[in-house]
Structure 1
Amino acid sequence: MMAGNETECYSTQLIDGDGTFNGDGLDRFIKQVKLGECGLSYAVVAIMGPQHSGKSTLINHLFDTNFKEMDTMAQRSQTTKGIWIARCVGIEPCTVVMDLEGTDGRERGEDDTVFEKQSALFALVVADKVIINMWCQDIGREHAANKPLLRAVFSVMLRLFRVDKKTLMFVIRDKSLTPFEHLKNDLSEGIEKIWNSVSKPEAHKDTRLKDLFNVEVVALSNFEHQKDIFKEEVASLKQKFFQSIAPAGDRREVVPASGFSISAQQIWKLIKENKDLDLPSLRVMVATLRCDAIVTEKYSTFIANKAWLDLQEAVETNLVEDFGEKVSLMISNCLSGYDHEFSYDHEATYFEASVTSEKRKQLEENLLQLVQPAYQSTLKRIQAMLFENFKDEFSIALNGGQGFAVNACDYTNKFTRLFAERCERAVVEHANWDLDKIKEKFSRDLNSHITEVQLVELSKVHESNLKEALHGPVKSLLEMGSDHTWPAIRELLQHETETAVSEFSSALLTFEIDEQKKEDMISKLKDHARGLVKETAREEAGNALHHMKERFTSKFNYDDDYNPRVWVKEKKIRDIAKNARSFSLKFLSVLAAIRLDDTTDTIWDTLVYTLLERTENVTISQDLLSSRTWKGVSATQTLIAPLHCNSLWSQFQKETQYAIDQATNELLAAKKRKKELLLLAMNVALISTHAVRGVGAVVANLL
C-alpha cells in the first residue's frame, strides 16, 4: 500500500473479485468525502490496463491515493482485485478515481474474461474520463493493448446506455526513443479501427468515435529507472484533472452526486444480468431459503441447549479442563449427528449439495463465533493459572543452588511446554484458530517477569551498595555535630548517588525496557539514597540525649589533649560546664532537622537564645519552643521538634548536673585536703622546733 493520505482519500473496495457490490461501503465513502453535497460538480476517473502495468502506482502518484501496489521484489501476482474507489486528494472539483482489476491475469484464467468486460463496461459508463494504462512496447499488439476488451465493451455499451461524451486517455508507460507523435498516431489509428469494426445499433449507425469519446494520448518515462522525470511528468499530467469537467449545463446525463450510489449499483446490476451470469435456479433458490431457515433453527437450538448454557456458566468462574472436547462434541452433534434427527445434515441432506455445503459452513462459522469468547476465556484462565505457578516455582528455585540464568531457562521451557499442552486440550476441532499469538504473549509474559525479577535484584544490589556507602559515613558525620555536618552529608550524598546512578544506568542498557521505566527506576534509586540519609538521621535523632551526654562528658571531663581535667577553681568549672553544654547543644541543633537542601534556618540561634542563655523574659523563650515545627522547616524535615528539644534539654541538664556537682565537690574536697595537709605540716614543723630545743637543753646540762 502506498503511503497516501488515508484520512482524505478513504480508499474502499467498491466491487470485490467475485463481483459483489459493496453498497454499504460506497455509502460510507460518499458520506466521508461529502460527495452528496457536490450536485453535478464532481468527476469520476477510472483506470484500466493489463495486470502488472503499474496502474495503482500511476494513480497513487497522480492523485495521492493509497491503492495497493505490486511489490516488485515479490512473486508477480494479482494486486488489485475487483474495483476500488478513492477520492483524489487536492483535486477540485471533487474527483473520484476507480482502480480496476488488471486484465489478462493468470488468476482468472485465459478464458474467464467476463469480469474484465463487466468492470471495463462499468468504468466506461460511470466515469467521465477513463485512463487506459499500457506499455509502450505493446502498441500494435492485439491483446496486450486491451483491444479485444474495448471492442466488446464498445459493442455492448452502445446497445445498453445513453452516455455523455467520455474521455479515453491512453497512458503509454516506459516510452521509448520512438517519437511520441508516431506512437500517438499508431495508437489512435488502432482505436479507430476497433470502433469501426464494432456492430452498431440503428441509432448509432453514423456515430463516430469522436462523437462519444475524446481520445488523448500521454507518454511517461520509466518509474523505476527515471523516477524523478516520471514524477515531473505525472505532476504535469495532474493539471489535466483540475476543473476537468464541463459546466453543469452540458452534463445533462450525469446523475446528481447524492444519487451516485444508487445509480452505480443499478448499472452494475444491469451489466451483470445482461452477461448471462449464473442466476440461481428454482431448486437453488428453494435450497437457499430452506437451508437458511435450518441454520437459524439449529443455531437457536444450540444457544438454548442446557449443556452449552452450563458450560458457558462454568467457564465464567472456573477453568474447564476438557473444554475443547465438550464443545467439539456439541458442535458435531448440531452439524452431523446422523443418528440425531435434529442435526443440520439430517434435515438438509436432500437439498442442492452446493447450497447445503455453503450453509453448513455458515452454521459452523456462526457456532464457532458463538463459542469463541468462552474459548478465549478458557485460554486466559490457563494463561493466568500457569503464569502464577511459574512465578511461585521460579521464586522458590532462585533460593536454591542453581544460578539465575539456568533457572530462568529451565522454568521458561517447562511452562511454555505446559501452556502449549493445555491450550491444545482447549482447542475446538472444527475451528482453525491460531494459537501462535497467545503462545507468544505467554512467552512474553514469562520473559517480562524474569526481566522484572532481574531488575528488582539489580535494584536491590545498588540499594545495598548505597546503604553501605552512606549509612556509616552519614552516621559519623552526624555524630560530629558541627556546622559542616550537613554540607558534608549533602556532598557525600551527591557523590554516592551520581556514582550509583551511573553504574545502574550502565547495567540497565542490557535490558529491553522503555526510557520512561528506566527514568522511573533511576528516580527510585535516587529517592532511596535520600531515604537512607533521612533514616540514619532519624536513628541518630532518637539517641540524641545519649549523644549529648557523651559530648558533654568528653568536653567537660577532658581537656583539649584528652587528659583528665584537674579542677582548681569553681569559676572555671562553671565556664567549662557552659562550654560543654554549648558543645552538646550544637549537636542537638544539627539533629533537629534534615537539611538535604542547601537552605538556612534559625534553629541554632533559637536554641542558644532559649536554652543556653535563658533571657530575662522566660515566657518569650518558652513560647519559642512550644511549637511542633521550626520556623521555615517543614514537618517532614523536622527530626526533633522545638517542644521536644526543650524537654530533652531539661533532661540533659538534670543528668549532667551530677558531673558538675561532682567536680565542684572534688574541688572542695581537694581544697579541704590541702588545708588539712597545710595544718599538719605546720604542726609537724612546731613539734620539730620544740624537739630541737629539748635536745639543746640536755646537751647543755651534760656539759
Structure 2
Amino acid sequence: MVRLFSPRKTTLLFVIRDKTKTPLPHLESILKEDIQKIWNAVHKPDTLKDTPLSEFFNVEIFALSSYEEKEKKFKEEVAQLRQRFFRSISPGGIAGDRRGVIPASGFSFSAQQIWKTIKENKDLNLPAHKVMVATVRCEEIAKEKFNHLTTDERWLALDEAVKKGPVLGFGKTLSSIIESYFKEYDTETAFFDDEVKKAKRKQLVSRVLEFVYPSYVILLGHLRSKACVDFKKRLEQSMNDGEGFASAVRKCTKTCMLEFDQGSADAAVQLANWDPLKFREKLRHDIDMHASSVQNEKLSGMIASYEKRLAEALTSPVRSLLEASGKDTWASIRKILQHETETTISKFLVDIASFDLDQEKVESMVLNLRNHARNVVENRAREEAGKALMHMKDRFSTVFYHDNDSMPRAWTGEEDIRTITKDARAASLRVLSVLAAKRLDEKPDKIENILTSSLMNDVVSSSSSKDKSSGPSSDPLVSSKWEEVTVKDTLITPVQCKSLWRQFKAETEYMVTQAITAQEAYKRGNNWLPPPWAILAMFILGFNEIMLLLRNPLYLVVIFVVYLLSKALWIQMDVGRAFQSGTLAGLLSISSQLLPSVINLLKRLAEQAHRHTISQASRSSPPSANSRSFRSQILYSNHTNTILEPSAVTNVESSVSSNVESSSDSEIEYSSPSAGQAD
C-alpha cells in the first residue's frame, strides 16, 4: 500500500560482496530490472497505477571487493559506506533527497501550515509547504538585500559621481557591490528549496539591475556626449590644419567611436547583459548629423562665395556690353559667360574634391552654378531692358552731338542734320533690338530687321490709321511675341517696342529742333549783309540821297571819316566779343567804354595832327619815328586800358592821315573865292 503522506523517498541500498571482474554497470542493470518487475507486481491505486518506481524509492547498488584478496581496498569501501550512514540527511546521504527538510528558522511557520493543511484535507500529501516557506523567506531575504543596496554608501557615492560625469571603472565597481549582496543572499538561503531560492535570486538580480540601469544609461549618455564634443573639436582642428574634410571626418569618427567602445566596455556590469549598441548608433547618428551639417555649411559658404564671384565677374562686363549694344553684343556676352563659368567651375571642383562627394551631387552643384551665372546675365539684361528708353536717348545724344572722331559737333551750317538724325535714330534702334530679347542660346532671330523695316520707315506710322480702317493690320509690331523667340527669352514685346519708339521720338525731337535753330542762328550771325530785297528797297527809297552825295562829294568824305572812326571804336572796344556774353551784358560794356574811347581817340588824333605839322617843318627827322610814336600811343589807352590790334591801328593811321590832308586841301580850295572877293 502506498502512503499518501510521505515527506521523502525511501532509499533501497543493495550491497554486493566479493565483487568479481563482472562490470558493476552490468550488475546494476540486472538488479534494477528485477526490482522493476517486483514494483510492477505490487498492487497500487488507480491514480498511481502508472507511477514509476523512482517516484517513491531511490535504488542504489554498492559493490565491495573481496576481503581476502583486496583487504585494504575493502576497508576503504566499507569506510565510504559507513560515512553515508553517518550523514544520511546530508546531500548525497541515504536520506539525502531533502524534499521534506526545512531550516529551523522556518519550522514554526511550516508547522502552522502543516496543521492548517491537515485540518482542511486530511488525505492531502504536504510536500509543498516547504516551497511556501522557502518562497516567503527568500522574498524577505531578497527584499532585505535590495534595501541594503539602495542605502549602501559605496553605491550612493558611485551614483552621485556618475551624475556629474564619466566614471572610470564603473562596471567593475558596481559589479563588486551588487555581487557582495548576491553572495549574502546565497548564504542565507542555502537551506531553502533550490528552485525557489534560484527563482527569487533571479528576481533579485533583475530588480537590482533594473535599479542600477539608469546610472548605466546616464554614464553612456556622458560617454556619448563627450565623444560627440571631442569629434567636433577634432574635426575643427583638423580642418584648421588644412586636412581634407572627408579624411578628417573618417579619422575623427574612428577615434571617437573607439573611445566610446572602450568606455562602454569599462561600464559593462558582469551579471547584466546590457547592450550599448543603441547608444553607439545614436552617437554615430549624432556624428553623421554634425558632419553633414558642417559639410552643408562649408559647401553653402563655398557656393555663395563662387556665386558672388560669378556675379562680380559678369555684372560689369554685361552691363557695359548692353549699354554699348553693338552688333556682336550677345556673342560677346555668351563668350564672357562661358569663360567665367568654366573658370569658376574648374576652381570650384578643385575646392570640393576634399569632400568626397558622389558624382550626382557634384553634377547638381555644378549645374546650379551654371544656372546662377545664366540668371545673373538674364537679370542684368532684364534690368537694362527696363532702362531701354534711357539707353536709346543716350545713344541718340552721343551719335547726334559727336562726329565719327567722337569730337563735339559745331552747327556751322555745313552739317546735314537730316542724315545725322537718321544715323542717330538707327543707332538707337539697334540698342532697342539688342535689348528686346535674350540671345544666350545662339538662336537666330529677325528682331532687328523687323524693327528697322517697321520703325525707320516713315510710311508705317502714317499708314497705320489706313490699315486699321481697311482691314486686319499687317504691322509686325502689333503682337505680344517675336517670331522664333520664346516668351521666356523676350524682354521687350513688339508692342512695347513700338510704344518706346514713339516716346523716344517725342523726347528727342527737341534735340533736332535745337540743332536746326543753332544752325540757322549761326548762319544769321555770320551774314552781315541784309537780304537782297532790303538792299533793293534801300536803293530805290534812298535814290535822292544817293544823288545828293554824288553831287556833293564833301558828304562822302564826312561819311568816310565817320566810318573810319566807327571802325576804330568797334575794334578798340571789341564789340563782337562783348556781345558773345549776351545782349544786355554787351550793351552795358559798350555804354561804359564808349565815351572814354571817343575822348581817347580824339586826343590821339589831335596829337597825331600836331606831330604831322612838326614833321613837315623839320624834314630832316625820319618819318618812322613819328609813326612809331603814334602807334605806341594808339595801342595804349589810359582810360580804358584796351589794346588795339596792329592791323586796326595801321588802318586808323593811314585813314586819319589821308583824311587830314584831303580836308586841308578842300578848305584851301573852298576859301579861295572869298579871298579873291576880298582882294
* Fold equivalence (TM over 0.5): no
Q: Which has the higher contact order (CA 8 A, sep 6+)?
A: 1
Highest Rg: 1 or 2?
Answer: 2
Greater share of residues in helix: 2
TM-score by length of 1: 0.41
TM-score by length of 2: 0.43
